[in-house]
Amino acid sequence: MVRRIKITEEELIRLLSNREEKGIEILYDNYSAALYGVIHRIVQQDEIAEDVLQETFLKIWNNFGQYDSAKGRLFSWMINIARNASIDKVRSKEFVNRNKNQNIEKAVFSAGEDLQSGFNPETIGIKKMVQELEPEYRQVIELLFFGGYSQSAAAEKLNIPLGTVKTRSRAALQKLKNYFERI
């Protein structure tokens, strides 16, 4: 476990805006495990996940000027960059050709067992709780979050009405929120 340097988000944003190298180092130490987890969850392969993580940090560093704190939290902005880069990768021709027998849906639905594989003691408790989330909620949230599905695409995929996707995704997030608040 990499030691985290405690720093406020404002301070980190200031460092990154000034393009101070210390900023990206702190960013890596604080967020690489979370971002790598999201990426790996989507691309499923160490080598590719490492490439995407590198690409993600490059994008964060080079496009930091596009970050607007009025439009959301920094961590969420970075997670979205990592998610989008991963989803783009999974949808790329190169990736599809390489993994003909392992498509994205399979990756998403094989999620359960994968949750145990990361060794991050700090998050083991949370993982357990996420796993306890009812499958119908987890499916929706995973398709939307890791699969890059729109709500209507997810509805089609799961063969449920769009309204149900909306209520389930909202409910799933509410349940997660409650779990996380209890920690």
Partner 1 sequence: MDIKDYIASGVVEMYAMGTLSPEEKKEFEQKMLVYPEVAAELRSVQETLENFAESHSRNPRPELRGEVLEKVIGKGSAGKDKGNIIPLDPTHRLTYKYLIAASLAALLISTFASWFFYNNWNDAEDRYVAVLKEKNQMAENYNQVKNSFEHTYSDLLVMRDGDAKVMMLMPIDSTKRYQMRVYWNQYTSETYIDVLALPDPGEGKQYQLWAIAGGIPTDAGVFSIPEDQSMMRVKNINVAEQWAVTIEPKGGSVSPTMDQMILISKNS
Interacting residues toward partner 1 by CB under 8 A: 1-2, 19, 21, 24-25, 28-29, 32-38, 40-41, 49-50, 53-54, 57-58, 61-62, 70-73, 75-76, 79-80, 83-84, 115, 117-120, 122-123, 126-127, 129-130, 141, 144-145, 148-151, 166-167, 169-170, 173, 176-177, 180
Q: How far is the CB of 11 from partner 1 (least distance, A)?
A: 18
Question: What are the tokens at 155?
Answer: 């509805």
Q: Which is nearer to partner 1, 11 or 25 (CB)?
A: 25
Q: Which is nearer to partner 1, 79 or 104 (CB)?
A: 79
Q: Which is nearer to partner 1, 101 or 138 (CB)?
A: 138
CA-to-CA dists, residue 30 to 8, 36, 114, 131, 153, angstroms: 11, 11, 22, 24, 33
Q: Which is nearer to partner 1, 100 or 147 (CB)?
A: 147
Question: What are the tokens at 48?
Answer: 């590719």
Residue 101 DSSP label: T
Q: How far is the CB of 156 from partner 1 (least distance, A)?
A: 14
Rounded CA gap, 132 and 6, in Å? 31
Q: How far is the CB of 100 from partner 1 (least distance, A)?
A: 25
CB 115 within 8 A of CB 93: no
Rounded CA gap, 152 and 140, in Å? 11
Q: Which is nearer to partner 1, 54 or 66 (CB)?
A: 54
User: Which residues neighbour 96 within 8 Å (Cβ) at sequence distance 6 or greater?
Assistant: 90, 103
CB 23 within 8 A of CB 16: yes
Q: How far is the CB of 181 from partner 1 (least distance, A)?
A: 9
Q: How far is the CB of 119 from partner 1 (least distance, A)?
A: 7
